[in-house]
A and B are shown apart, each in its own frame.
Chain A
Amino acid sequence: MTLHSAKIGQPVSRIDGIAKVTGQARYAAEPHPAGMLYGFIVNSPIARGRIEAIRDEAARAVPGVVEVMTHLNRPHSALFEKSYMDGLGVPGSPYRPLHDAEISFNGQPVAVVLAETFEAAREAAMRLEVDYERWPHNADFEASLHQKYMPGKTRSNYVPPKSRGNAAEAYALSPIKIEGRYHLAPEHHNPMEMHATTVIVEEDGTFTVWDKTQGPQAVQAYLTSALSLSKDQVRVRNPYVGGAFGSGLRAQHNVFLAVLAAKMLNRSVRVTLTRQQMFTHVFRPEAVMDIALGAQPDGTLQSMIVNGVTDTSRFEHNMENLVIWGLINYKCPNATADYKVAPRDTYTSSDMRAPGAATGVNLFEMAIDEMAYACNMDPLDFRLHNYSDIDAMHDMPLTSKALKEAMHEGAERFGWQNRPMAPQSMRDGKDLIGWGMATGIWDAMFSPTSARATLTADGRLHIATAASDIGTGTYTILAQTASEAFGIPMEMIDIELGDSTLPECPTEGGSWTAASAGAAVWLACQSLREKLFKAVGKSGNISAWLTEGLSNNTTVLKDGFLQDKGADENLRLSLSEALSLTGQDRLEVEETAKPGLRGTISQMRKARFTHSAVFCEVRVDEELGIVRVTRLVNAVAAGRIMNPKTAASQVRGAMVMATGMALHEESLMDERVGRFMNHNFSEYHIPAHADIPDMDVLFIAEEDPEVSPLGIKGVGEIGMCGTAAAIANAVFHATGQRHRNLPITPGD
């Protein structure tokens, strides 16, 4: 049987699927080095204050306990605050675990108990007695709004809103106006795999750190900086990641504490967070947006005013691109926006899937729906009427925008044309039925990335890059890319990811991995093929057809064989034969994909986004107000789709998460103590299967060779953007009642 090369664009099943479902794939908490200790973190029950005393006699008396590590006895770490900065670049004073006696947020680690068994560590943690001096705190978002501010130094990826025209005057003069305050509850990422670190102290004293992270090199950089270690003393591995959604963008305290403990005791250590402890660190910020829109009676937008606030901690200024999306996506002569952050005594909020846009697009699209109704216009027609072909905020052309096509194709698949305009006009028995829609937008990003391609004597191709597959399908699409680029069946390819020693790759996130790592792998494979051809050509001892083909440039590499284009199948040379001809046992190249001069100019002159149009049907029990989503169609324009199967899974996963945003998920802050109280899967409600209907994901043809080297835009976040709004808008269409707060829960 001849194995064939795969192609980008084929719906290949995950190549790591078998390893995952058979338990062969190893996650951060799974390596079990000899003599490993278990660390259990003790968390602060107060939001602000200082530790007065720690009494650890009872904890140390638990059989099996080796050490109770606190700020009093921890080993030295870096002196300067800036050494604890991570690659995400959140301005402010980074949290330094076990640094001193001061408490800045509820749930802050105050000790790590280390024991021979997990059970002993946990019991001792429960027996540790800590006295606190309590200081006044504020954890109430409403109250923190009075202290909102614009950080002096902004995050590196922050896009400041840009005003145009005179929005206030145009609003005042607009015959049709809507305005309101929209709100999103805080949410927690809650990946299935809890954050965990296993530190293996190697024989030479170096640390191999298995960590749940989206960026092994970022964690390595953080650890070397914060713990004053050299790069060759720390290797970070994360070959498999059980979901992350942004929670693994920053090095979390578990990795710092695990390495600190390993350093202190010179023993291998594992620290795993419990599900409850997953609520003691990162979360999607709570947000409010005050939105005012003005329009002409014919539905032409005249003015958009968007003022938004998200929460941050008292010590760091986490920022989101919250308010810009409507200004970019809609044609409207007058627009202005303002963004601030509000500090409260909690841990710093963080990026969660489609940070900024998941909140900003959904809340804005709920306001757009209100405006469409105020103008008595079909919500789809209203959006088409105010459609912008450019980035209207920067007055910049786009590399591509097939949103119009997505709207049309999505509407057709959904059957939107049969929609009656009036709310409460469709019913079935006791249920009101509503149809809503919204559009989505997210960045299409590309970051310089390196990859290595190696051909070995057995004729196999090895690809290596420090990318992370956080469950998205990166292994699979990179194998497809290598297969097509090199001309080799996927079965003959090994992909190595998730290791800080591999060629440089930025932290996985922002939907940029497919475009960036894909381009690097493509480049490395092409370069390796050229190198192979050159080496074979030089070997002298080759058949006439090959000599001829190589000099005429008619030799190709196809399905793992060197052969002449369109020639006899018998005249071909396997890769292992070809390599042995060269007299080498391996050929290797490393390449870095960069935007290049043309790409850099393009990035300056053109904006780049993915787009989507989401259509939703809900049923709402008229008396009980219970909402069920019964249909979701998402038409996505995201450039070239590398693998429609894994890409659709990504979009569907985000749509499930957005359903949670619309109807279920809310972290309940008890501001009296500064703690999110529903800190478990029983009471933090992510949608259950029963809540999720069949979802239809369409990819719209969008050729965009300019957006990234392979024309890829990425699909990790776009499913979040618009879906929650489509659900909320459908609820309005069903019931005639507007909800401006998400989630919409029974009794609202």
Chain B
Amino acid sequence: MRQFSYSRPDTLDAAQRIPEHTRYLAGGTNLIDLMKSDVERPKHVVDLNALSMSQIEERPDGGLRIGALATNADTAAHPLVTERYPLLASAILAGASPQIRNRATNGGNLNQRTRCHYFYDPDMACNKRSPGTGCSAKGGRNRIMAILGTSEACIATFPSDMCVALAAMNATVNLTGPEGERSVPLRDYHRLPENTPWQDNILRAGEIVTSIDLPPLSFGPHHTYLKIRDRLSFAFAIVSVAAGLQMENNTIRKACIAMGGVGTKPWCVPEAEALLEGKTPSPSLFRDAADCLLQGAVTDRDNAAKLKLAPRVIIRALSQAAAGTPQSQTQKTIF
């Protein structure tokens, strides 16, 4: 960790007037870690915690707005979330540990960095950390790396669980910055690495995530967040699937599906969702959806297991959602 200046503005306006090499601090569960490892080297840390952005409130359209500074724990436990967006609550609870969720915020979750071994180790070449140095993950120990959305420059996954559920539900990210306010669909918020992997998302300098809007959307019991990982708690996903289905007389009216652990961003394929709509759930239908979701997957040295597991996890998750038996995050048996 290198010396930095610290400020804690109490207005959004002040928080946006920042010099170069600034990082915003919310829960700090990722940023502080990265600073200790010398991966993030901000000259200025601007603490957002004096701003009031932790509200969770209903929207006129029947949706829900969750504040960027609401903690993951408070969000997952909020009655409006547990009652109306259990898929989101489930995805949050599948991630990290209770201690981390107590600190980590929703805005921070969107802006966390990859857990790629090579990104985290300043002795190793990494285009995401040090543009132009190369990608050590390619050809390296890349069991945890992405198989979708990768480029020659980067194969790191975006590690969030929460964002997978947000992507499935087509949430909207609300931003405010020097150029004013804007809203961006979550599916467009994170970037593919292409040849600029250091840009994780579309945030501009001085722009801050203020809240996330969940559309009015109900799956009843027909949803699940299924996460496969190397141990049953406190590990990032090898493959995860957030699925929500609107069912009517055993027909899928609307399908929402996103994947984690396999992509360089929360992975959504609208064609796969369209393919499910209007159909009766069946293993072969789900297999088709899996094929569609995984189109273009590329494996590297160590991560072929992801491609082997992914279709099975997709099929299981869709089966759970169709059956109305969501995966429990406390009872670890997968039904």
Residues on B with C-beta less than 8 A from A119 are 1
Inter-chain CA distance A126–B115, complex, in Å, is: 21
Rounded to whole angstroms, the CA-CA distance of A397 and B38 in the bound complex is 59
Determine if A136 is an interface residue (Cβ-Cβ < 8 Å). Answer: no
**B139 contacts A746, CB within 8 Å?**
no
In the complex, are the beta carbons of B230 and A745 less than 8 A apart? yes
Cross-chain contact B3 with A123 (CB below 8 angstroms): yes
Report B38 CB to chain A, min CB distance, Å. 5
A14 to chain B, nearest CB (A): 25
Let me know if B238 and A746 touch, CB within 8 A.
yes
A550 located at the interface, meaning its Cβ lies under 8 Å from any Cβ of chain B in the complex: no
A619 to B331, CA, bound (A): 14
Q: Mark A622-666, 1 if CB is under 8 A from B, else 0.
A: 011110100000000000000000000000000000000001100
The interface stretch among B58-66, B116-124, B267-275 is B116-124
- Is there contact, CB below 8 Å, between B140 and A626? no
A429-B335, A746-B305, A748-B305 in contact; A688/B233 too (CB < 8 A)? Answer: yes
Report whether A747 and B305 are in contact in the complex, using a CB–CB cutoff of 8 Å: yes
- 1/0 contact string of A439-450 vs chain B (CB within 8 Å): 000000000000
Query: Do A682 and B230 touch (CB < 8 A)?
Result: no
**Is the Cβ of A746 less than 8 Å from the Cβ of B141?**
no
Q: Which residues of B contact A623 (CB under 8 A)?
A: 312, 315-316
The B88-116 residues at the A interface (CB cut-off 8 A) are: 115
Q: Are A682 and B2 in contact (CB under 8 A)?
A: no
- Does the CB pair A123–B2 fall under 8 Å? yes
Minimum distance in angstroms from B332 CB to a CB of chain A: 6
Whether the Cβ atoms of A276 and B37 lie closer than 8 Å is yes
In the assembled complex, A402 has its CB within 8 A of some CB on chain B = no
Q: Could you tell me the distance in whole angstroms from the C-beta of A370 to the nearest C-beta in chain B?
A: 24
**Interface residue? B247 (CB, 8 A):** no
Interface size on A, residues (CB 8 A): 44
Asked if B184 is at the interface (CB within 8 A of a chain A CB), the reply is: no
A677/B316 in contact, CB under 8 A = no
Indicate if A683 sits at the interface (CB-CB under 8 A): yes
B306 at the interface (CB under 8 A from A): yes
**A667 nearest in chain B by CB position:** B141
Q: A residues within 8 A CB of B141?
A: 668-670, 677-678
Check B6 for interface membership: any CB of A closer than 8 A: no
* Residues of A close to B139: CB separation below 8 A: 672
A686 to B315, CA, bound (A): 29
B residues 244-261 near A (Cβ < 8 Å) are: none
Contacts of B312 in A (CB 8 A): 623-624
Interface string of B149-188 (1 = CB under 8 A from A): 0000000000000000000000000000000000000000
Least Cβ–Cβ distance between B119 and chain A, in angstroms = 11
Contacts of B332 in A (CB 8 A): 628, 690
Cross-chain contact A677 with B229 (CB below 8 angstroms): no
Contact flag A626-B233 (CB < 8 Å), given A119-B1, A747-B308 = no
Is the beta-carbon distance between A122 and B231 smaller than 8 angstroms?
Answer: no
Residues of B within 8 A of A20 (CB): none
In the assembled complex, the Cα of A685 lies from the Cα of B232 at a distance in Å of 10
18 contacts between A and B (CB under 8 A): A43-B123, A62-B3, A276-B37, A276-B121, A624-B309, A624-B334, A663-B231, A668-B117, A669-B141, A677-B117, A677-B141, A685-B230, A685-B231, A685-B235, A688-B234, A746-B228, A746-B230, A747-B308
Binding site for A on B (CB under 8 A): 1-3, 36-38, 115, 117-118, 120-124, 136, 139-141, 143-144, 228-236, 238, 304-306, 308-309, 312-313, 315-316, 332-335
Q: Report A's interface with B, CB cutoff 8 A.
A: 43, 45, 62, 119, 122-123, 126-127, 276, 429-431, 619, 621, 623-626, 628, 663-664, 668-670, 672-673, 675, 677-680, 682-683, 685-691, 745-748
